[in-house]
Amino acid sequence: MINHVLQRQICPFSIRDICLGPQCCASVMSRTTPCMFILSIVVPCRFLICLGSTNACEKTSFMFLRQELPVRLSNIMKEINLLPDRLLSTPSVQLVQSWYIQSLLDILEFYTKNADDHTVLSGFTDALITIRNRHNDVVPTMAQGVIEYKESFGEDHMTSQNVQYFLDRFYMSRISIRMLINQHTLIFDGRTNPAHPKHIGGIDPNCKVVDVIRDAYESAKLLCDQYYMDSPALETDEHNAVNGSKQPVYIVYVPSHLYHMLFELFKNAMRATVESHESSPRLPSIKVRVALGGEDVTIKMSDKGGGVPLSKIDRLFSYMYTTAPTPNLGSSGGAPLAGFGYGLPISRLYAKYFQGDLQLYSMEGYGTDAVIYLKALSKDSVERLPVYNKSAWRHYQHIQEADDWCVPSSDPKNMAVDKVQQ
């Protein structure tokens, strides 16, 4: 696989032109066909582990990334330009675009450089760290752009659909790019993480699932105690159908990804539990069960926080919907995700990245089960990446027609208004 990747030529006219700078990005997009695309190489988890094995070769990783990263950056940059002009013109979205253009330029500086030069390899690692830091605030900044659009132009169904479709793909692309960058920088920056000496980059080949669960619980508990002066207890249970029911469940995975998902779910479960049992002398526990089967590792978190109506489940995964007050990015440049409503949709993307999923099953008036599905075998943990092709392009051009099912609604959708606004 490595040889196949390194033999690929990926710097055609379209990518070169995109790299000329922000001032010509629009003209480039108009001169290239809307459906021009280059396929990304879908990377298995095992490939990322091989790059960081005891025989790890920095040159091999360098040659792979200097080809693959421009593909992923340029594909998502072309897709950004399919968003509505009024959303593209917001200051926050323009700022995000400028970050991507600069990062693409930074990577292409190394495209023709000598891979046998240790100075080049060191400079490449430094450039990746700079790119990673530059993109730290992409999620809240893009979220701010959506808020700016909504405040200026309101909401319409067509735009909301396109934004949801795009952001799922955009953030998944971001997860994949950061995964590749983190693997290279963590392995080849010359340092070992003393807290996790056996990690291979960001991957733990023996990730003990219940330990990550407890870490995420303790972090969420700290926040809950600070805000509510109380928090529900945790009960865990493991079932190992492969190695014996009493054996702990281990998995080859990225602990930070799993932690992110669990921390978000714990925050939601704790908040719902505390607020729905304000008059109770004792809070019901949050129960987490882990099951290892032949194909899946399943983590189910159950709370008694009152549940959510079925009609609102989809909203919890929408980037255009949040019940929290709009946060202020402030002058510091850093911003928490609280208030943007992005916790659950981003968590679902982390689960899907290596072919898993995250689902919510709620009983209104009682509680909610949140279920994380992960692949039990590393050979099945393969990246899930957006493909920029004709099908994706058509999605943005599609004019939605009236629903062909009778759906009762207190606020029926006026397609004529939607078309005028579009």
Residues with catalytic function? 260, 264, 267-268
- β-strands 286-292, 234-240: how paired? parallel
Residue 5, judged by CB atoms within 10 A of its CB (0-12, 13-18, 19+), counts as: middle
The answer to whether the CB of 368 falls within 8 A of the CB of 362 is yes
Distance CA 371, CA 89 (A): 38
Distance CA 53, CA 93 (A): 39
Distance CA 341, CA 163 (A): 14
Give Cα 135 distance to the centre of its chain.
Answer: 13
Residue 118, judged by CB atoms within 10 A of its CB (0-12, 13-18, 19+), counts as: exposed
Distance CA 50, CA 396 (A): 38
The tokens describing 260, both together, are: 């992110």
The answer to whether the CB of 207 falls within 8 A of the CB of 215 is no
